[in-house]
Amino acid sequence: MGTNWRPELSMAGRSKYKTLADEIRSAVADQRLGAGEQLPPVRELAYQLSVTPGTVARAYSLLTEEGVLQAGVGRGTFVAEATTQADDAIAWPQVLNLRSPLLPDMGQSQLLRDAMRKTADHMPAEEFMNYPDRRMDLPLRRALRRWMADLPIGNFTAEDIVLAHGAQNALMLVMQTVLNGPDPAVAVEGLTYPGFRRAAELCRARVVGVACDDQGPILSELERVVREEGVQLFCTSSEVNNPTVRFTSDTRRREIAVLARRLGLNILDDDCYAIGPHGAESYHSLLPELGWYVSSLSKALTPALRVGYVVAPRERVQELARTAAFSFFGMSRPLTEMTLEFMSDHRLLSVAAKVRARMNDLIRDTVNHLGGHQVAWREDVPFLWVMLPGGWRSASFVRAAEAQGVVLKSAEDFVLRDARAPHAVRIAVNGQVDTARYEAGIVQLRALLDNPRDEFTV
């Protein structure tokens, strides 16, 4: 085992063997532990970590089943050679896309190909020929419940999950279920994911903004818009605000939950962008009767499957399931079966760890290149928020970047139509291009930041 690596088992509320397995899996993913490297004997590592030998043995056994480790009788436990092969990155595109996060292929495509073959070979013929219903997707909902087991979502079961065609579709389903009356209104943060606004508009709902500070949405402002505008649903991303990367503090979340309970306000908590450990409880945990948790597989594994999900308040699950059924009858049976095979693959956690490690490498590289400028960023968040220096407006900066072959998003994309946008841009990480091409694009952005173009017109 590498002399500079020591597993950290301090995560509260988790089984120690799972925490140890995660630590080893992450060390393999970011190459702190290389293929062929030997791990300490069970008793030795147990002594080093002050845990039982059974804890270490269970972690080693789990990772051996996943193919991360391999054990030889009388030889010990070693890091296995990779069992999934990533497709080569698109080497050097003429235009570098930094508008939306693009995940590297660290083996997901191979897992999907294998899942498609298994689905084609094993799914009964009659299930290819009939309409789906909610009962059919229960195995996938159970797999997703296991996938979310370590997230602070609160008490829920697979029966509380409703599937959707991606997180955007999930937002729509929640709005269609919650909003009522002739003039419904939805509240969003002043800078936020534009999909909230577009979903609300499709539901014929007004959208009002809520001012925020560095702790999250301002409590008094949220109460004001609920009382004055008749807001029925507040859409937020408490773990990672898109685009500012802001984290809503635990204290602010609890204050908002108390306010929402007093006002009867539903809260939709969109958790699509955090790909690592979470920092505080979700609104579904703090406010189980009014909190709706929405996420998908898109930012951690692949957006190609278009599988999103809602963990609904228990008393509203059937209502939400009915909305989904009235919208599209149910999720396609081949799709849910293929996703189940994908989620059940013993290699999945190892692949997910490699995706996370690669994205974090790119995030750190980006920050290093942009040092000295005002950049908001966090590990496990696949985009950065850059405040532009004096002399740049966001629209002109985006145009200048595009002229040099780099496309990204302006702050105007994230504000309400009648709101004033800050002079800022969002840079999303692209893990699908050659590293040199990605770094060249970031260097071009750095050059623009270093040389503002003061404009004077008459």
- Identify which of 386, 380, 381 has the alpha carbon closest to the alpha carbon of residue 442: 386
Spatial neighbors of 49 by CB under 8 A, at least 6 apart, are 7, 9, 20, 55, 56
Helix (H) / strand (E) element for 206: namely strand 206-210
Q: State pLDDT tens for residues 120-138.
A: 999 999 889 999 999 999 9
Within 10 A of 355 (CB to CB), how many other CB atoms are there?
24
> In DSSP terms, which residues pair with 386 in a beta bridge?
375, 425
Whole-angstrom Cα distance, residue 283 to residue 256? 9
Whole-angstrom Cα distance, residue 458 to residue 443? 33
Name the pTM for this structure.
Answer: 0.86
Q: State pLDDT tens for residues 86-126.
A: 565 566 788 999 999 999 999 999 999 999 999 999 999 98
- Virtual CA dihedral for 257, 261, 266, 271, nearest 10 degrees? 20
pLDDT at 3: 44
Position of tokens 């490699």?
Answer: 354
Spatial neighbors of 329 by CB under 8 A, at least 6 apart, are 131, 132, 133
pLDDT tens per residue across all 458 residues of the chain: 444 567 777 655 567 888 888 888 878 877 788 888 888 888 888 888 888 888 888 888 888 877 788 887 677 888 888 766 656 556 678 899 999 999 999 999 999 999 999 999 999 998 899 999 999 999 999 999 999 999 999 999 999 999 999 999 999 999 999 999 999 999 999 999 999 999 999 999 999 999 999 999 999 999 999 999 999 999 999 999 999 999 999 999 999 999 999 999 999 999 999 888 899 999 999 999 999 999 999 999 999 999 999 999 999 999 999 999 999 999 999 999 999 999 999 999 999 999 999 999 999 999 999 999 999 999 999 999 999 999 999 999 999 999 999 999 999 999 998 889 999 999 999 999 999 999 999 999 999 999 997 654 55
Sign of the torsion angle spanned by Cα atoms 80, 81, 86, 91: positive
Residue 277 one-letter amino acid? P
pLDDT at 2: 46
Residue 48 one-letter amino acid? Q
> In DSSP terms, which residues pair with 77 in a beta bridge?
39, 71
Q: Are 376 and 214 in contact (CB under 8 A)?
A: no
Spatial neighbors of 188 by CB under 8 A, at least 6 apart, are 196, 197, 200, 207, 208, 209, 210, 234, 235, 236, 416
Which domains, and CATH codes, for the chain? Answer: 16-79 (1.10.10.10), 96-106+348-450 (3.90.1150.10), 110-344 (3.40.640.10)
